[in-house]
Structure 1
Amino acid sequence: MLKISLKAARVNANMTQSYVAKRMKKNKQTIVNWENGKTVIDAANFAALCNLYKIDKECILLPY
């Protein structure tokens, strides 16, 4: 199975970091940090992102 990054999943879903931040009720920098591997995303937020992007958790390669 091919895995894609958080950023690629967001781009494939045609969403901006600002849009995702607003939908997730997070600061845009939080989304940036998750995508760049600067902070670890917890399980609940990861599941919410996968749901938002309409992608299975198994298809995402986290940067850490």
Structure 2
Amino acid sequence: MPQISIKAARVNAGLTQKQAAEKLGISDQTLSHYEKNSGLVKQATLEKMYSIYKIDKKQIFLK
């Protein structure tokens, strides 16, 4: 199964960084940081991303 980045998953979901951050309950600066350093994303936030971006966790590439 091909994997994509957190940023690509957000873009594919049709969300801006600000929209996604609001839905995730984090600042857009924090989301930007996570998109650049995906290994730092907390598990609870990742779970929200899977749901909001409508993507299977196996499809996200984490650095």
Please report how far the alpha carbon of residue 24 of structure 1 lies from its aligned counterpart in structure 2 after TM superposition: 1.3
CA distance in 2, matches of 1:25, 1:15: 14
Q: TM-score, normalised by structure 1?
A: 0.91
Q: CA RMSD in A?
A: 1.3
Q: Which has the higher helix share?
A: 2
Q: Is the 8 A contact 2:6 2:38 kept in 1?
A: no
| Partner residue, 1:27 | 27
- In structure 2, the gaps of 5 or more residues are none
- In structure 1, the gaps of 5 or more residues are none
CA distance in 1, matches of 2:54, 2:35: 17
Structure 1 moving runs of 4+ over 2 Å: none
- Seq. identity, %: 38
